[in-house]
Chains A and B, each alone.
Chain A
Amino acid sequence: MSRESVITEQPGDDVLLAGWGGTAPTRARLASPLTEADARQLLDRAPDRGAIARGLGRAYGDAAQNAGGLVLDATALSGIIDADLDRGIVTARAGTSLDELMRWLIPRGWFLVTPGTRFVTVGGAIASDIHGKGHHVDGTFGNKVRSFRLLTGSGEVLDVDRESSPEVFWATTGGMGLTGVLLDATFELIPTETRFIRVDEERCPDLDAMFSAMEESDSAYRYSVAWIDCGATGKHLGRGILGRGNHATLDEVPKTKRSLAHRFDPHQLAVAPPILPSGLINAWTVKAFNELWYRKTRVSHRDLIQDIGLFFHPLDMIDEWSRVYGSRGFVQYQFVVPFGAEDTVRRIIEILGNENWPSFLAVLKRFGAANPGMLSFPMPGWTLTVDIPVGRAELARTFDRFDEMVLQVGGRVYLAKDARTRPENLGRMYPRLPEWREVRHRLDPDHRIASDLSRRLGL
């Protein structure tokens, strides 16, 4: 008897799945429904350990994996169903990627709320209630969603409208896919005259300069984010480059580029090979990179006309970039603290520098208003994101310490990135958790929708 035969006969393949960070892979049965009826049938026949939908696997932690259970690959359920290009409203299947949408929409004068990658699906964008550089103006992806259809754990398909069923709507938006499988969604677009962003860049010599630059003039820009050199210590602590921009109008684009101002056809420059060793990203390589990166930017650089792809998704140019971290992978830690808790951000950057934790990409962003999403991450305040390679055993304790510091000032970590927080932190981070649990329980009393994340955090 082979070990495989222990598993009940299920469509799909046994695969090892991990998040974008490449940590804690688990085995699940992966099936790709081609139609809604497929999805329904698969869910109906899901094993005891339940099912979860997975998009393009860009959640960094264990949100879209389900050890010993079923994972529904939603990417085949894709495509634009309906578009009102006068009013800027689109209905797309949940497996449609933002890349696909942008390639179609940008030439037609429309854009979307986008995170740092185009390779996320509409379903994933809603489940993680993703945000991007424009949060202080546009809010999250969920803020733009008007309605969606949801296949619940009990097999029902619900039409969920923001106005008429706010509870299910806001439990699902940011609900990490645990209220059901999203089938399609209708959402609002952002107008853009061209495929360019007019960008202003400035170097900020320390964290205070960075905070005040963002406080003073973020409102003049639709998009704003800062890259922080986490290796800088002492009087350079928190130095970085602030990059902000607005959609460029046709007049602002240089004449030579005007004829192609609507063309949007980004491609990948390279693929990271699958054999890179762990340890390539270490304190030394990161220090050298950060120093160069900081110096390569002029002290101030105004009215730079940048392609949307380069401005929003620079990492998308390298396919499978997470491989540079090697087989051990990395943890992306993202937290938010309310305004007034700037000191917590400073102390965390200080610890990263003093203890030599290498972080290539430390990103600081000033969030705007929160939305009613029960488990939605953004709140008014500062959010910092760092990528740390897995290796040194003390990392667990360092992150736990950060959690405590963040909790003390009423902040939280982002579940779409999380791969290691303590379950007992969750209720303190997300005070509306009981309310969310109630809605989930009502939609799916047997908890047939489950993920490694829901098991690990006891959601």
Chain B
Amino acid sequence: MNDALGSVQSVLILGGGSDIALATAKALIARRCRTVILAGRDPESFSGPAKELRHAGANTVESVTFDALDHSSHPAFIESVFERFGDIDLVLVAFGVLGDQDRAEVDPTEALRILDTNFLGAVSVLVPTTAALHRQGHGTIVVLSSVAGERARRSNFVYGSSKAGLDAYCQGLGDSLVGTGVRVIVVRPGFVHSKMTDGLDAAPLATDPEHVAGAIISALTRGTEIVWVPRQMRYVMSVLRHLPRAVFRRLPV
């Protein structure tokens, strides 16, 4: 169950290999989360992180197979997780690919892979997840969106458009769930130093997975529905999204 201060007792992480997800899991464990289910394409690769999480204090850490691209498997997957582990207090949607923007501009396969994973895959798994949480009568869905979805940029608009779709879907989902005991938190980090961004030049206001985790914990306590990381990003993006396109496209972002 969620407690009065937003602490949870069990979490399902979709995209268990994500650095942000692991940092969040650790922060949740420090606040009495005892069951962590890591889901991803290659559950064997989770043995290291699983050990870390057990060491941090989790009683149950299980790795399960989940493929965001295999949409038809999602309903059965969600059903089996809820059946096996009982109440899931928090579902963290942390999977996603940055993709290769240059290739995606010329190769539809790459463009579709990005959209299929980040947007369609997420929606596909969120539908049965929402139903399961609704039946349970409580729960929180935390979705990792991105500032990239706030305004499409020349340099990564395929990724940006996938996050824009996801972000919009989740805002609507959150509103549709008012009064059901289920809530949706949309997290919009800026540039995060992680495996995903390894080798890329850091953008201004770059942050790290631990900060994102801290912001999620605070949102769980306070009931915030949209979380910007770092917080100043909200104001930066508010300016950027109102810039005329002729100006925006000339910016070195």
Q: Write the residues of chain A forming the contact surface with B, with a CB cutoff of 8 angstroms.
A: 3, 6-7, 14, 16, 21, 23-28, 49, 61-62, 66-69, 327-329, 331, 390-393, 395-396, 399, 419-420, 422, 452, 455-456
Contact = CB atoms under 8 A, between A and B. Distances in A.
Given A24-B1, A24-B2, A27-B179, A327 B131 contact: no
Nearest to B132: A6
Contact of A456 (B1, B31, B135, B179): B1
A425 to B, nearest CB: 10
B3 A419 contact: yes
B7 A27 contact: no
Contacts, number: 93
A140 to B, nearest CB: 24
Contacts of A69: 137
Given A21-B4, A68-B136, A328 B222 contact: yes
B137 A23 contact: no
Nearest to A62: B1
B180 interface: yes
Contacts of A23: 3-5
A396 B7 contact: yes
A412 B4 CA distance: 18
A49 B137 contact: yes
Interface in B128-151: 130-131, 134-138
B138 A67 contact: yes
B137 A393 contact: no
A3 B131 CA distance: 7
Contact of A67 (B137, B217, B221): B137
A391 B218 CA distance: 8
A68 B222 contact: no
Contact of B4 (A27, A49, A392, A420): A420
B146 to A, nearest CB: 23
B87 interface: yes
B33 to A, nearest CB: 11
Nearest to B89: A456
Nearest to B183: A25
A6 B138 contact: no
Nearest to B5: A396
A92 to B, nearest CB: 31
Interface of B: 1-7, 9, 31-32, 87, 130-131, 134-138, 179-182, 214, 217-218, 221-223
Contacts of B31: 396
Contact of A27 (B180, B214, B218, B221): B180
Contact of B136 (A3, A67, A328): A67
A331 B221 CA distance: 12
A49 B136 CA distance: 8
Contacts of A7: 135
A6 B2 CA distance: 23
A28 B2 contact: no
B1 A68 contact: no
B216 to A, nearest CB: 10
B4 A390 contact: yes
Query: Which 7 residue pairs spanning A and B have beta carbons closest together?
Result: A68-B137, A67-B137, A419-B4, A23-B4, A27-B181, A456-B1, A26-B138
Contacts of A3: 130-131, 134, 180
Given A16-B180, A327-B223, A390-B221, A68 B135 contact: yes
Nearest to A61: B4
Residue of B5, B7, B9, B135 with highest tally of chain A CB at under 10 A: B5
B136 A455 contact: no
Contacts of B180: 3, 14, 16, 27
A455 B221 contact: no
Nearest to A333: B4
Given A16-B179, A24-B4, A396-B7, A422 B138 contact: no
Contacts of B2: 24
B89 to A, nearest CB: 10
A327 B218 CA distance: 16
B222 A420 contact: no
Contacts of B87: 67, 455
A320 to B, nearest CB: 19
Given A25-B181, A329-B4, A419-B3, A396 B221 contact: yes
A67 B1 CA distance: 9
Given A419-B4, A422-B32, A390 B137 contact: no
Nearest to A398: B5
B31 to A, nearest CB: 6
A391 B203 CA distance: 31
B3 A456 contact: yes
B137 A331 contact: no
A455 B1 contact: yes
Nearest to B176: A3
A61 B179 CA distance: 18
Given A62-B1, A331-B5, A26 B221 contact: no
Contacts of A26: 1, 137-138, 181
A414 B222 CA distance: 24
Contact of B221 (A25, A62, A327, A391): A391
Nearest to A395: B5
A68 B223 CA distance: 21
Given A3-B131, A25-B181, A391 B1 contact: no
Contacts of A392: 221
Contacts of B222: 328, 390-391, 393
Contacts of A420: 3-5, 7
Contacts of A452: 1, 138
Nearest to A396: B5
Nearest to B86: A455
A450 to B, nearest CB: 11
